[in-house]
């Protein structure tokens, strides 16, 4: 998969006329970082509005016990 495929699959209007607003990623830190990069390159995410522990994401993800949630 690459960013072009993501843009084609998730870009544009959905049935309700809106755009995709939420993406759930689950995997290792490396997998999640890859997906974030693909979403950014596809123009599907405004990273100023990403809800996550920004410092943790920027540091390359989380390992067990690094957050309270």
2-36 per-position pLDDT tens digit: 888 888 888 887 778 877 777 788 888 888 888 88
Model confidence at 64: pLDDT above 80: no
Give a yes or no: residue 36 inside a domain: yes
Full-model pTM: 0.59
Give a yes or no: residue 64 inside a domain: no
**pLDDT (tens digit, 9 = 90+) per residue, 34-61?**
888 888 889 888 777 766 555 555 555 5
Give a yes or no: residue 50 inside a domain: yes
Q: Which residue has the tokens 């943790």?
A: 56
What is the total residue count of the chain? 69
Give a yes or no: residue 66 inside a domain: no
Q: Is the dihedral of CA 22, 7, 4, 55 positive or negative?
A: negative
Nearest residue to 35 via CA among 17, 47, 18: 47
Give a yes or no: residue 67 inside a domain: no
Distance between the two ends of the chain, CA-based, in angstroms?
30
Give a yes or no: residue 45 inside a domain: yes
pLDDT score for 49: 74
Give a yes or no: residue 27 inside a domain: yes
Question: Residue 28's domain spans which residues?
Answer: 3-58
Nearest residue to 24 via CA among 9, 45, 1, 42: 45
The total domain count for the chain is 1
């Amino acid at each position: 998969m690459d960013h072009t495929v993501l843009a084609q699959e998730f870009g544009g209007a959905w049935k309700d006329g809106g755009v995709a607003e939420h993406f759930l990623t689950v995997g290792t830190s490396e997998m999640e970082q890859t997906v974030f990069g693909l979403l950014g390159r596809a123009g599907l995410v405004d990273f100023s509005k990403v809800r996550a522990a920004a410092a943790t994401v920027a540091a390359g993800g989380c390992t067990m016990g690094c957050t309270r949630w």
